[in-house]
Amino acid sequence: MNAMKTLITFLLVSLALTPVFAQLDTTSYPKERQAIRELLRHQQPGTRIDCPDFIAVGPKGDISFSHQQWVEVQKKEKLVFKSVQPVAGHQFIRIYEGTMAVVNALIDVKLVVDGQDVHLNVRRLEVYHKAASGWCRVAGQGTQVDEKLFPVAAK
């Protein structure tokens, strides 16, 4: 009898916790995914896609707590973005409940640093929020891809 009570209790607890451990559907939401793809595709230097509470982590690990702070760091480092383009086939978008997106994308970046042209591939992790006015970026961080160790073209 005691074993039966234990078994029934285990089954009831398991059933009660099943929704907690259920897999979230992060690959649906086609309209939202398309809107994020459009943001990435049309992102150009000077285009404002950041939320007012945007947080950015720079290549030196510095943190900017607004779009304006991020721009000021770029000026201080004498950094100017010429172009920012996502590399086709290297975008991974997860949508959470239709209002939050996590994006991991490989970005082809052309910029000028202290008067020198620089071209590099950057793996970006960005978080977007869907506000009443549309999607905006709340956080972003990039890591330069070491082409010698991890050539992008080979994949």
- Give the range among 14-28, 31-45, 114-128 with minimum mean pLDDT: 14-28
What pLDDT shows up at residue 18? 52
pLDDT in tens, 50-68: 888 899 988 778 899 998 8
pLDDT band at 36 (very low <50, low <70, confident <90, very high): very high
Tokens matching residue 53:
């509470």
Nearest CA to 37 out of 114, 99, 89 is that of: 89
| 48-87 burial: b if 16+ Cβ within 10 Å, else e | ebbbeebbbbbeeeeebeebeebeebbeeeeeeeeebebb
Q: In the chain, where are the structural domains located?
A: 24-144
Structurally, at CATH architecture level, domain 24-144 sits in Roll (3.10)
